Amino acid sequence: MHAQLLTEPSLDAADPAVAELIEGEIARQSETICLIPSENHVSRAVLEAMGSVFTNKYSEGYPGRRYYEGQQLVDRLEPLAVERAKALFGVEHANVQPYSGSPANLATYLAYAEPGDTIMGMALPMGGHLTHGWSVSATGRWFRAVRYDVRRETGRVDLDDVRELARRERPRLIFCGGTAIPRTIEFEGFAEIAREVGAVLVADIAHLAGLIAGGVHPSPVGRADVISTTTHKTLRGPRGAMLMCGVEHAEALDRAVFPGLQGGPHNHTTAAIAVALEEARRPQFADYAARTVANAKALAGNLTDRGFDLVSGGTDNHLLLVDLTSKDVPGKRAAQALDRAGITTNHNTVPFDPRPPFDPSGIRMGTPAATTRGMGEAEMELICGWIDDGIEAAKRADEAAIQRIAERVREVAAEFPIPGIAA
């Protein structure tokens, strides 16, 4: 750390209340296994960049066109992040300023639609995201949102349904991608439909960015008009987002982000995004992406062998959606029991869920975080056993059995320290 910081009290001394919570969170993450597919463990380098003095700096505008002075370093930092994003994904233009995935998506509405215009996205309970026009979101209230679903028989999107809906509704914007889609997104098919109806296609790769960078999921580049992504999921960077596009869309998107929607960019986040993009360029990252998918397939296979129903029957990527209907236990109760057993997941709706969204039939899990820790297929088999036993224990209300699983999880987790923290 920098010399002048050492003359000041450390966080421990300055604010023991917050320091204790951070220590506790380090212990929680270390002693449990995170299977939440939108979470990951960032490197120490990413954490350091996040915790840097760039958080002190205002930089409204873009490099070379700012509304504040003192941009000598920020105006080198932001282009560095932008160049790395362009190189990693092979795009002509990147904007690294969106505060997170939701505002990044809102910027695409601001760039291409007027309030009341028709927009189209996958329904939230089918695996889409709130910001793709779901009713409770601003995007569903300010725009006329129409939704596509998955097919009941397959659990998958059928492009014929999407095409029919697009022809009928003529949306301005079409979103593809989502938060709980275990299958490959057919960017080319969506692009053909968008072209046919004159819509702007937004590929929301928030979940998939790391898999795309690592070469284990097809890329939307050259297919989607706009690519929106978070930087903190499979891409393994700080909480943030990026918009990427061809040069023809650059100005509209940049103006939508600033001054359309946001004020000053979070420069400390930009620094950490730059670090994460450099990490994602390395061959080890491609290996990480491949292992993440292999682990998800292994977990899916193990769960299927133990009689769990997976939406769409399995996975092509880093996540799986388990329908617990046949196990006769609701998703929330299962997820809470697994949390007590040291395995962190989230309850999730399954397509055509008869249960309400706050207490749905499914749980969603994924392997990005566990794979970052170095866990492999052997651990996936152990984890699957603990999930099965944990859910059965929850059904019997056998808290002692749940605590025994938590103890085993702690032992195995200790063999796989999380990156980014001092041991």
Ligand X SMILES: *Cc1c(COP(=O)(O)O)cnc(C)c1O
Residues belonging to the active site? 58, 60, 204, 230, 233, 239
Q: Which stretch binds ligand X (CB under 6 A): 13-21, 23-31, 203-211, 382-390?
A: 203-211
Pick the closer one to ligand X by CB: 204 or 389. 204
Choice from 34, 41, 123, 204 touching ligand X (CB under 6 A): 204
Query: What x-and-dash track marks residues 142-181 binding ligand X by CB under 6 A?
Result: -----------------------------------xxx--
Binding residues for ligand X, total number by CB under 6 A: 14
Query: According to the binding rule CB under 6 A, does residue 230 interact with ligand X?
Result: yes
Shortest distance, CB of residue 220 to ligand X, whole angstroms?
Answer: 13
Shortest distance, CB of residue 205 to ligand X, whole angstroms?
Answer: 8
Query: What x-and-dash track marks residues 281-310 binding ligand X by CB under 6 A?
Result: ------------------------------
Query: According to the binding rule CB under 6 A, does residue 217 interact with ligand X?
Result: no
Q: Where are the beta strands (DSSP E) in 257-385?
A: 309-310, 319-323, 343-344, 346-348, 362-366
| CA gap 399, 139 in Å, rounded | 42
Pick the closer one to ligand X by CB: 206 or 226. 206
Query: What x-and-dash track marks residues 105-144 binding ligand X by CB under 6 A?
Result: x-----------------------x-x-------------
Q: How many CA atoms lie within 13 Å of 227's alpha carbon, on the beta-carbon side?
A: 30
DSSP for 181-194? --S---HHHHHHHH
Q: Is 45 exposed, middle or buried (0-12, 13-18, 19+ CB in 10 A)?
A: middle
Residues 125 and 353: beta-carbon distance below 8 Å: yes
Query: According to the binding rule CB under 6 A, does residue 101 interact with ligand X?
Result: yes
Pick the closer one to ligand X by CB: 228 or 302. 228
Query: According to the binding rule CB under 6 A, does residue 207 interact with ligand X?
Result: yes
Shortest distance, CB of residue 373 to ligand X, whole angstroms?
Answer: 21
Q: Where are the alpha helices (DSSP H) in 135-233?
A: 138-141, 159-169, 187-197, 209-213
> What's the token pair of residue 423?
């041991």
> What's the token pair of residue 300?
């899916």
Shortest distance, CB of residue 312 to ligand X, whole angstroms?
Answer: 17
Q: Which stretch binds ligand X (CB under 6 A): 98-106, 268-276, 332-340, 409-417?
A: 98-106
| Alpha carbon 357 to its chain's center | 20
Pick the closer one to ligand X by CB: 101 or 125. 101
- Beta strands 346-348 and 362-366 are antiparallel
Pick the closer one to ligand X by CB: 266 or 327. 266
* Closest C-alpha among 285, 293, 363 to residue 323: 363
* Closest C-alpha among 396, 280, 415, 390 to residue 334: 390
340 by DSSP, 3-state: which?
helix
| CA gap 351, 256 in Å, rounded | 33
Pick the closer one to ligand X by CB: 107 or 391. 107
* Closest C-alpha among 390, 379, 344, 391 to residue 364: 344
Pick the closer one to ligand X by CB: 187 or 308. 187
Query: What x-and-dash track marks residues 36-55 binding ligand X by CB under 6 A?
Result: --x-----------------
Q: Which stretch binds ligand X (CB under 6 A): 97-105, 215-223, 355-363, 392-400?
A: 97-105
* Closest C-alpha among 26, 27, 29 to residue 39: 29
Question: Which positions touch ligand X (CB under 6 A)?
Answer: 38, 100-102, 105, 129, 131, 177-179, 204, 206-207, 230
